[in-house]
Amino acid sequence: MSIDIHGVLAPGFEPVRAVFEENFAARGELGAAFALIRQGEVLCNLHAGWADRARTRPWTDETLVPVFSSGKAVTALVMAWLVDQGRLDYDAPVSALWPEFAAHGKGEVTLAQALSHQAGVPGPVNGIDPADWFDRDRMEAYFAAMAPMWAPGDGSGYHPLSFGVLADAIARRADVEHRSVGAILRELIAGPRGIDCHIGLPEDQHHRAAEHILPPRAPDLGTITPETRAAFLNPGASPGRKGAAAWRSAELPAANAHATALALARLMAPFACEGRLDGEAFLGAATLAAAMKPRTAGPDRVLPFDLSFAAGVMINRRLGVFGPEPRAVGHYGFGGSCVFADPVRGVSGAYVMNRQMDVLVGDARAQALIDAAYGCLGR
Protein backbone atom coordinates (compact mmCIF):
# COMPACT_ATOMS: atom_id res chain seq x y z
CA MET A 1 0.00 0.00 0.00
CA SER A 2 1.55 3.29 -1.11
CA ILE A 3 1.21 6.50 0.88
CA ASP A 4 1.47 10.08 -0.32
CA ILE A 5 4.28 11.80 1.56
CA HIS A 6 4.42 15.58 1.66
CA GLY A 7 6.88 18.16 2.87
CA VAL A 8 10.53 19.20 2.65
CA LEU A 9 13.53 16.93 2.16
CA ALA A 10 17.12 18.09 1.68
CA PRO A 11 19.23 16.31 -0.97
CA GLY A 12 20.91 13.25 0.50
CA PHE A 13 18.12 12.53 2.98
CA GLU A 14 16.10 10.29 0.69
CA PRO A 15 16.67 7.30 3.06
CA VAL A 16 14.67 9.16 5.73
CA ARG A 17 11.76 9.43 3.34
CA ALA A 18 12.05 5.72 2.54
CA VAL A 19 11.89 4.81 6.24
CA PHE A 20 8.98 7.19 6.77
CA GLU A 21 7.11 5.37 3.99
CA GLU A 22 8.11 2.00 5.47
CA ASN A 23 6.55 3.01 8.80
CA PHE A 24 3.19 3.16 7.03
CA ALA A 25 3.73 0.00 5.02
CA ALA A 26 5.16 -2.23 7.74
CA ARG A 27 4.83 -0.61 11.18
CA GLY A 28 1.15 0.26 11.35
CA GLU A 29 1.40 4.02 10.99
CA LEU A 30 -1.86 5.95 10.54
CA GLY A 31 -0.73 9.57 10.49
CA ALA A 32 2.66 11.03 11.37
CA ALA A 33 5.25 13.72 10.85
CA PHE A 34 9.02 13.90 11.24
CA ALA A 35 11.23 16.98 11.28
CA LEU A 36 15.00 17.40 11.45
CA ILE A 37 16.91 20.69 11.71
CA ARG A 38 20.65 21.34 11.63
CA GLN A 39 21.94 24.74 12.71
CA GLY A 40 18.71 26.39 11.59
CA GLU A 41 18.42 24.55 8.26
CA VAL A 42 15.37 22.33 7.82
CA LEU A 43 16.68 19.03 6.49
CA CYS A 44 13.40 17.09 6.78
CA ASN A 45 9.82 18.11 7.43
CA LEU A 46 7.66 15.23 6.29
CA HIS A 47 4.03 14.39 6.96
CA ALA A 48 1.58 11.80 5.66
CA GLY A 49 -1.49 9.78 6.46
CA TRP A 50 -4.66 10.55 8.35
CA ALA A 51 -5.46 12.71 11.37
CA ASP A 52 -8.42 10.58 12.44
CA ARG A 53 -9.32 6.95 12.95
CA ALA A 54 -12.02 7.07 10.24
CA ARG A 55 -9.49 8.34 7.66
CA THR A 56 -11.62 11.33 6.71
CA ARG A 57 -9.11 14.06 7.65
CA PRO A 58 -5.80 14.05 5.76
CA TRP A 59 -2.75 14.90 7.84
CA THR A 60 -1.45 18.34 6.79
CA ASP A 61 1.46 20.54 7.77
CA GLU A 62 -0.93 22.26 10.20
CA THR A 63 -2.07 19.11 12.01
CA LEU A 64 -1.39 19.41 15.73
CA VAL A 65 -0.53 16.30 17.71
CA PRO A 66 -0.84 15.63 21.44
CA VAL A 67 2.67 14.48 22.32
CA PHE A 68 2.18 13.57 25.98
CA SER A 69 5.52 13.43 27.84
CA SER A 70 7.56 14.67 24.89
CA GLY A 71 6.20 18.02 26.03
CA LYS A 72 8.33 17.77 29.18
CA ALA A 73 11.26 18.88 27.03
CA VAL A 74 9.30 22.02 26.08
CA THR A 75 8.57 22.67 29.75
CA ALA A 76 12.28 22.20 30.44
CA LEU A 77 13.01 24.90 27.86
CA VAL A 78 10.55 27.31 29.51
CA MET A 79 12.17 26.68 32.90
CA ALA A 80 15.63 27.22 31.38
CA TRP A 81 14.43 30.55 29.99
CA LEU A 82 13.28 31.61 33.47
CA VAL A 83 16.71 30.66 34.82
CA ASP A 84 18.37 32.68 32.07
CA GLN A 85 16.19 35.67 32.94
CA GLY A 86 17.42 35.50 36.52
CA ARG A 87 14.01 34.48 37.85
CA LEU A 88 15.07 30.96 38.88
CA ASP A 89 18.21 29.14 40.04
CA TYR A 90 18.57 25.42 39.39
CA ASP A 91 20.39 24.92 42.68
CA ALA A 92 18.00 26.94 44.86
CA PRO A 93 15.37 25.13 46.95
CA VAL A 94 11.85 25.07 45.56
CA SER A 95 10.57 26.09 49.00
CA ALA A 96 12.25 29.49 48.68
CA LEU A 97 9.49 30.40 46.23
CA TRP A 98 6.87 27.91 47.41
CA PRO A 99 7.15 27.57 51.20
CA GLU A 100 4.32 25.02 51.45
CA PHE A 101 6.41 22.55 49.45
CA ALA A 102 8.81 22.18 52.39
CA ALA A 103 6.34 19.88 54.19
CA HIS A 104 7.59 16.45 55.31
CA GLY A 105 11.25 17.11 54.66
CA LYS A 106 11.05 18.48 51.10
CA GLY A 107 12.48 21.86 52.07
CA GLU A 108 15.87 21.25 50.47
CA VAL A 109 14.57 19.91 47.14
CA THR A 110 16.16 22.09 44.48
CA LEU A 111 14.67 23.15 41.18
CA ALA A 112 17.08 20.84 39.36
CA GLN A 113 16.01 17.92 41.52
CA ALA A 114 12.33 18.65 40.95
CA LEU A 115 12.91 18.74 37.19
CA SER A 116 15.00 15.55 37.24
CA HIS A 117 12.31 13.46 38.98
CA GLN A 118 14.06 13.37 42.36
CA ALA A 119 11.46 15.14 44.54
CA GLY A 120 9.88 11.89 45.71
CA VAL A 121 6.31 12.72 44.69
CA PRO A 122 5.76 10.67 41.49
CA GLY A 123 1.98 10.67 41.79
CA PRO A 124 -0.94 10.59 44.22
CA VAL A 125 -1.03 7.89 46.86
CA ASN A 126 -4.71 8.47 47.73
CA GLY A 127 -7.54 10.96 47.81
CA ILE A 128 -7.41 12.20 44.21
CA ASP A 129 -10.17 11.99 41.62
CA PRO A 130 -9.22 12.02 37.91
CA ALA A 131 -11.08 15.33 37.54
CA ASP A 132 -8.92 16.94 40.23
CA TRP A 133 -6.03 17.30 37.78
CA PHE A 134 -7.98 20.10 36.12
CA ASP A 135 -7.93 22.05 39.41
CA ARG A 136 -4.46 23.59 39.49
CA ASP A 137 -4.64 24.88 43.06
CA ARG A 138 -5.87 21.55 44.42
CA MET A 139 -3.08 19.57 42.79
CA GLU A 140 -0.40 22.02 43.88
CA ALA A 141 -1.65 21.81 47.46
CA TYR A 142 -1.73 18.02 47.27
CA PHE A 143 1.88 17.61 46.17
CA ALA A 144 3.12 20.37 48.48
CA ALA A 145 1.63 18.50 51.43
CA MET A 146 2.63 15.00 50.27
CA ALA A 147 5.32 13.10 52.13
CA PRO A 148 8.08 12.00 49.73
CA MET A 149 8.14 8.32 48.85
CA TRP A 150 11.96 8.24 49.11
CA ALA A 151 14.61 10.60 50.38
CA PRO A 152 14.54 13.54 47.93
CA GLY A 153 17.69 13.64 45.85
CA ASP A 154 18.34 9.92 46.26
CA GLY A 155 17.89 8.97 42.60
CA SER A 156 15.05 9.42 40.17
CA GLY A 157 11.52 8.10 40.16
CA TYR A 158 9.70 9.26 37.05
CA HIS A 159 6.97 11.86 37.77
CA PRO A 160 4.65 11.43 34.74
CA LEU A 161 2.16 14.20 35.70
CA SER A 162 3.37 15.71 38.95
CA PHE A 163 6.46 16.95 37.06
CA GLY A 164 4.18 19.47 35.36
CA VAL A 165 2.38 20.47 38.54
CA LEU A 166 5.69 21.25 40.22
CA ALA A 167 7.13 23.08 37.21
CA ASP A 168 4.03 25.20 36.75
CA ALA A 169 3.78 26.09 40.45
CA ILE A 170 7.40 27.20 40.42
CA ALA A 171 7.11 29.11 37.13
CA ARG A 172 4.07 31.12 38.23
CA ARG A 173 5.78 32.11 41.47
CA ALA A 174 8.95 33.10 39.63
CA ASP A 175 7.52 35.01 36.68
CA VAL A 176 7.05 38.74 37.26
CA GLU A 177 3.48 38.53 35.95
CA HIS A 178 2.79 35.12 37.53
CA ARG A 179 2.30 33.49 34.16
CA SER A 180 1.95 29.74 33.81
CA VAL A 181 4.30 27.55 31.78
CA GLY A 182 1.73 27.52 28.98
CA ALA A 183 1.32 31.29 29.05
CA ILE A 184 5.08 31.91 29.00
CA LEU A 185 5.39 29.57 26.03
CA ARG A 186 2.51 31.28 24.25
CA GLU A 187 3.32 34.90 25.01
CA LEU A 188 7.12 35.02 25.17
CA ILE A 189 8.68 32.05 23.37
CA ALA A 190 6.63 30.16 20.79
CA GLY A 191 3.92 32.69 19.98
CA PRO A 192 6.14 35.63 18.94
CA ARG A 193 8.20 33.31 16.73
CA GLY A 194 5.26 31.59 15.08
CA ILE A 195 6.22 28.24 16.58
CA ASP A 196 3.14 26.03 16.52
CA CYS A 197 3.36 24.46 19.98
CA HIS A 198 0.79 24.87 22.75
CA ILE A 199 0.46 23.83 26.39
CA GLY A 200 -3.23 24.53 26.78
CA LEU A 201 -4.69 24.39 23.27
CA PRO A 202 -7.18 27.21 22.54
CA GLU A 203 -10.64 25.87 21.78
CA ASP A 204 -10.68 27.49 18.35
CA GLN A 205 -7.66 25.31 17.45
CA HIS A 206 -9.11 21.97 18.56
CA HIS A 207 -10.22 21.14 15.04
CA ARG A 208 -6.58 20.94 13.99
CA ALA A 209 -5.70 18.26 16.56
CA ALA A 210 -5.12 14.69 15.50
CA GLU A 211 -7.24 11.99 17.08
CA HIS A 212 -4.95 9.61 18.93
CA ILE A 213 -5.57 5.88 18.82
CA LEU A 214 -4.68 4.06 22.04
CA PRO A 215 -2.07 1.28 21.99
CA PRO A 216 -3.17 -2.35 21.70
CA ARG A 217 -2.09 -3.08 25.28
CA ALA A 218 -0.67 -1.31 28.31
CA PRO A 219 3.10 -0.79 28.31
CA ASP A 220 5.28 -3.03 30.43
CA LEU A 221 6.02 -1.16 33.67
CA GLY A 222 8.27 -3.88 35.03
CA THR A 223 8.05 -4.72 38.74
CA ILE A 224 5.10 -2.85 40.23
CA THR A 225 6.34 -0.90 43.23
CA PRO A 226 4.48 1.60 45.44
CA GLU A 227 6.19 4.34 43.42
CA THR A 228 4.96 2.81 40.16
CA ARG A 229 1.43 2.60 41.55
CA ALA A 230 1.47 6.24 42.59
CA ALA A 231 2.79 7.32 39.20
CA PHE A 232 0.50 5.25 36.99
CA LEU A 233 -1.92 2.88 38.68
CA ASN A 234 -3.51 4.36 41.80
CA PRO A 235 -7.07 5.73 41.51
CA GLY A 236 -6.75 9.28 40.21
CA ALA A 237 -3.22 8.74 38.87
CA SER A 238 -4.13 10.46 35.60
CA PRO A 239 -6.64 13.11 34.50
CA GLY A 240 -10.10 12.17 33.31
CA ARG A 241 -13.89 12.55 33.55
CA LYS A 242 -13.87 15.95 31.86
CA GLY A 243 -13.81 14.94 28.20
CA ALA A 244 -11.33 15.45 25.37
CA ALA A 245 -12.08 19.15 24.89
CA ALA A 246 -11.33 19.98 28.52
CA TRP A 247 -8.14 17.91 28.38
CA ARG A 248 -6.89 19.71 25.26
CA SER A 249 -7.63 23.13 26.77
CA ALA A 250 -6.09 22.42 30.17
CA GLU A 251 -2.51 23.35 30.94
CA LEU A 252 -0.80 20.09 31.92
CA PRO A 253 2.87 20.87 31.24
CA ALA A 254 3.97 17.28 31.73
CA ALA A 255 1.48 15.62 29.47
CA ASN A 256 -0.65 17.51 26.96
CA ALA A 257 1.49 19.72 24.73
CA HIS A 258 0.05 19.91 21.19
CA ALA A 259 2.47 20.67 18.39
CA THR A 260 3.72 19.96 14.90
CA ALA A 261 6.95 18.04 14.46
CA LEU A 262 8.64 21.12 13.01
CA ALA A 263 7.62 23.23 16.01
CA LEU A 264 9.11 20.71 18.42
CA ALA A 265 12.31 20.44 16.40
CA ARG A 266 12.64 24.23 16.52
CA LEU A 267 12.05 24.35 20.28
CA MET A 268 14.68 21.67 20.85
CA ALA A 269 17.25 23.64 18.86
CA PRO A 270 18.65 25.63 21.82
CA PHE A 271 19.78 22.34 23.37
CA ALA A 272 21.59 21.51 20.10
CA CYS A 273 22.83 24.90 18.92
CA GLU A 274 24.62 26.55 21.84
CA GLY A 275 21.45 28.16 23.14
CA ARG A 276 20.23 29.63 19.84
CA LEU A 277 16.57 29.53 18.87
CA ASP A 278 15.86 30.15 15.19
CA GLY A 279 19.47 31.26 14.88
CA GLU A 280 19.23 33.95 17.57
CA ALA A 281 20.62 33.96 21.10
CA PHE A 282 18.07 32.55 23.52
CA LEU A 283 19.91 30.86 26.40
CA GLY A 284 23.29 31.93 27.72
CA ALA A 285 26.17 29.45 27.89
CA ALA A 286 26.03 29.10 31.68
CA THR A 287 22.29 28.47 31.67
CA LEU A 288 22.57 25.94 28.87
CA ALA A 289 25.34 24.05 30.64
CA ALA A 290 23.29 23.95 33.84
CA ALA A 291 20.13 22.87 31.99
CA MET A 292 21.93 19.95 30.31
CA LYS A 293 24.11 18.96 33.26
CA PRO A 294 23.53 15.35 34.40
CA ARG A 295 21.58 15.50 37.66
CA THR A 296 20.97 11.82 38.32
CA ALA A 297 21.74 8.48 36.71
CA GLY A 298 20.88 4.88 37.49
CA PRO A 299 17.88 2.57 37.87
CA ASP A 300 14.68 4.59 37.99
CA ARG A 301 12.24 3.89 40.84
CA VAL A 302 9.17 4.07 38.58
CA LEU A 303 10.17 3.11 35.04
CA PRO A 304 11.97 -0.18 34.32
CA PHE A 305 15.04 1.54 32.86
CA ASP A 306 18.45 2.82 33.82
CA LEU A 307 17.97 6.54 33.17
CA SER A 308 19.94 9.76 33.30
CA PHE A 309 18.14 13.08 33.67
CA ALA A 310 19.22 16.67 33.25
CA ALA A 311 16.88 19.48 34.30
CA GLY A 312 13.75 18.20 32.55
CA VAL A 313 15.23 16.19 29.68
CA MET A 314 16.59 12.67 29.43
CA ILE A 315 20.27 12.26 28.61
CA ASN A 316 20.96 9.64 25.95
CA ARG A 317 23.97 8.17 27.71
CA ARG A 318 23.82 4.40 27.08
CA LEU A 319 20.15 4.28 26.02
CA GLY A 320 20.93 5.09 22.39
CA VAL A 321 17.33 6.16 21.73
CA PHE A 322 18.26 9.67 20.60
CA GLY A 323 20.90 8.62 18.10
CA PRO A 324 24.52 7.60 18.62
CA GLU A 325 25.65 10.66 20.61
CA PRO A 326 25.76 9.93 24.39
CA ARG A 327 25.39 13.66 25.20
CA ALA A 328 22.20 14.04 23.18
CA VAL A 329 19.10 14.93 25.18
CA GLY A 330 15.40 14.51 24.53
CA HIS A 331 12.20 12.92 25.70
CA TYR A 332 9.72 10.25 24.66
CA GLY A 333 5.97 10.56 25.02
CA PHE A 334 3.30 7.94 25.71
CA GLY A 335 2.60 5.98 22.55
CA GLY A 336 5.82 6.78 20.70
CA SER A 337 6.36 10.51 20.11
CA CYS A 338 9.94 11.67 20.49
CA VAL A 339 12.00 14.87 20.58
CA PHE A 340 15.79 15.06 20.64
CA ALA A 341 18.76 17.42 20.40
CA ASP A 342 22.38 16.61 19.62
CA PRO A 343 24.76 19.35 20.83
CA VAL A 344 27.75 17.81 19.04
CA ARG A 345 26.24 17.87 15.54
CA GLY A 346 23.90 20.83 16.06
CA VAL A 347 20.89 18.70 15.16
CA SER A 348 17.40 18.69 16.65
CA GLY A 349 14.35 16.71 15.62
CA ALA A 350 10.93 15.38 16.45
CA TYR A 351 8.66 12.51 15.55
CA VAL A 352 4.90 12.76 16.17
CA MET A 353 2.07 10.38 15.34
CA ASN A 354 -1.49 9.48 16.31
CA ARG A 355 -1.38 5.66 16.41
CA GLN A 356 0.13 4.87 19.78
CA MET A 357 2.19 1.79 20.54
CA ASP A 358 2.84 0.05 23.86
CA VAL A 359 6.48 1.14 24.09
CA LEU A 360 7.62 3.55 26.79
CA VAL A 361 11.00 4.48 25.28
CA GLY A 362 12.46 3.64 21.88
CA ASP A 363 9.43 3.23 19.61
CA ALA A 364 10.47 1.32 16.47
CA ARG A 365 9.08 3.99 14.13
CA ALA A 366 10.98 6.83 15.79
CA GLN A 367 14.13 4.74 16.09
CA ALA A 368 14.08 3.84 12.40
CA LEU A 369 13.74 7.51 11.43
CA ILE A 370 16.48 8.68 13.78
CA ASP A 371 18.83 5.93 12.61
CA ALA A 372 18.16 6.84 8.99
CA ALA A 373 18.72 10.51 9.71
CA TYR A 374 22.08 9.84 11.34
CA GLY A 375 23.01 7.63 8.43
CA CYS A 376 22.48 10.62 6.17
CA LEU A 377 24.35 12.92 8.54
CA GLY A 378 27.31 10.54 8.46
CA ARG A 379 26.73 9.59 12.11
The residue count for the chain: 379
Instruction: Give 302-313 pLDDT, tens digit per residue.
Output: 999 999 999 999
Average pLDDT over residues 333-360: 97
Residue type, 324: P
Domain ranges of the chain: 5-320+361-377
Q: Give the mean pLDDT of 269-280.
A: 98
Q: Which ranges of the chain does DSSP label H, i.e. alpha helix?
A: 14-26, 71-84, 111-115, 136-145, 162-174, 181-184, 190-193, 226-228, 244-249, 261-272, 285-292, 364-377
**Count of alpha carbons within 13 angstroms of residue 237, beta-carbon side:** 15
Q: What is the pLDDT of residues 199-235, one digit of tens each?
A: 999 999 999 999 999 999 999 999 999 999 999 999 9
Does this model's pTM top 0.95? My answer is: yes
**Residues 199-225: b if buried by 16+ CB within 10 A, e if exposed:** bbbeeeeeebbbbbbeeeeebebeeee
Give dist(CA 68, CA 66) in Å, integer. Answer: 6
pLDDT cut 70: percent of the chain above it: 99
249 CB contacts (<8 Å, ≥6 apart)? 200, 201, 202, 203, 206
Strand 5-9 with 338-342, pairing: unpaired
Residue 26 predicted with pLDDT over 90: yes
Is 70 in the active site? no
State the catalytic residue, choosing from 69, 116, 238, 337: 69
Instruction: Please tell me the CATH code under which domain 5-320+361-377 is placed.
Output: 3.40.710.10
354-376: pLDDT as tens digits: 999 999 999 999 999 999 999 99
